[in-house]
Structure 1
């Protein structure tokens, strides 16, 4: 079971124009899942990072993300960005929970690199978007073969919060109801 002392979230390339390019998960569904994750981050006071691909005119992240200055990286993996990796490692959390677009590029590369460095990884499929169903499925299989866990926002949240009668539990279940 996960707990709020062991997890940090990674929001990768959730940018205007990139989210809409997802061919495997509608942009509205990704945005809804990210908004729910934003509520979960707040309710559980979880650390998170926002990573962005370089784009003309700036990162242009979606409004559903938690408020944060994004790390703009130069390559396909967040792990390759020294400042981002230092921020993640300084939090001292052994599990990265990753979501973003595209699954076959930034999610895959970041997950595999973190796993290779001994960090546990969970990927939230309903907060990800891929290039094609076939290539996204191949990326998710690679992550699982390397030891990562592929799950959903609801699966992640209910692993973190097991009692919905507490004030925090009520916040989390209310957020999850917005997934439907």
Structure 2
């Protein structure tokens, strides 16, 4: 299936992309996650795509990745962004029906947020290079669940080039330059 996405329908969810959590990834390296999430954040800002940052409570504060665009984080108490009423209301208020969800861990916060969003009528896209899991087997199982429920699993590059199809205009040139940052 060819992926063409109207960026005006998209909002991005950065979930548990905190230094102390990202370092625990057993699949993608912390560097890949930081780089991929950072590029996704840059592109979101270039295209005026709204985003939220949802974090798990951690000793010493949220510790959100420096690579992400700055925003006040939603601190939730459980394994799923959807369970946080304030976060859910912020998502609904934007009236953008495509959620791009990335974070650590894929088997917990990404999986449960994606499944609840799909059940809530949202389209869901998960860029795997901006996610980290506990193990390849368990992460792949989570991605299969998301796909079976109707979500799309792709990469940051696949997502972005599904939204920006012309690299000859100024925005397109900026986007392709940002994508080069994936090849660190």
User: Shorter-chain TM-score: what band?
Assistant: over 0.9
Q: What is the match of residue 160 of structure 2?
A: 157
- Runs of 5+ consecutive residues of structure 2 not aligned to the other structure: none
The list of structure 1 runs, each at least 4 consecutive aligned residues, that deviate by more than 6 angstroms after superposition, is none
Question: 2: distance between equivalents of 1:160 and 1:99?
Answer: 17
Distance 1:7 1:23 in 2: 28
- Paired position in structure 1 for 2:72: 69
Shift of residue 3, structure 1, vs aligned partner: 1.4
Aligned pairs, number: 180
* TM-score scaled by length of structure 2: 0.97
C-alpha deviations, 1:78-118, integer Å up to 9, x for none? Answer: 00100000000100001000110000000000000000011
SS at match of 2:36: helix
Offset, 1:173:
0.2
- Structure 2 equivalent of residue 106 of structure 1: 109
Q: Distance in 2 between matches of 1:57 and 1:177?
A: 34
- Cα RMSD, aligned residues only: 0.6
CA deviations on 1:129-156 (whole Å, 9 max, x unpaired) are 0001000000000000000000000000
Instruction: List gaps (5 residues or longer) in structure 1.
Output: none
Match of 1:39 among 39, 42, 55: 42
Most deviating of 84-93 and 32-41: 32-41
| Partner SS, residue 129 of structure 2 | strand
Candidates 58, 78, 81, aligned match of 2:81 = 78
The TM-score normalised by the length of structure 1 is 0.99
Match in the other structure for 2:29: 26
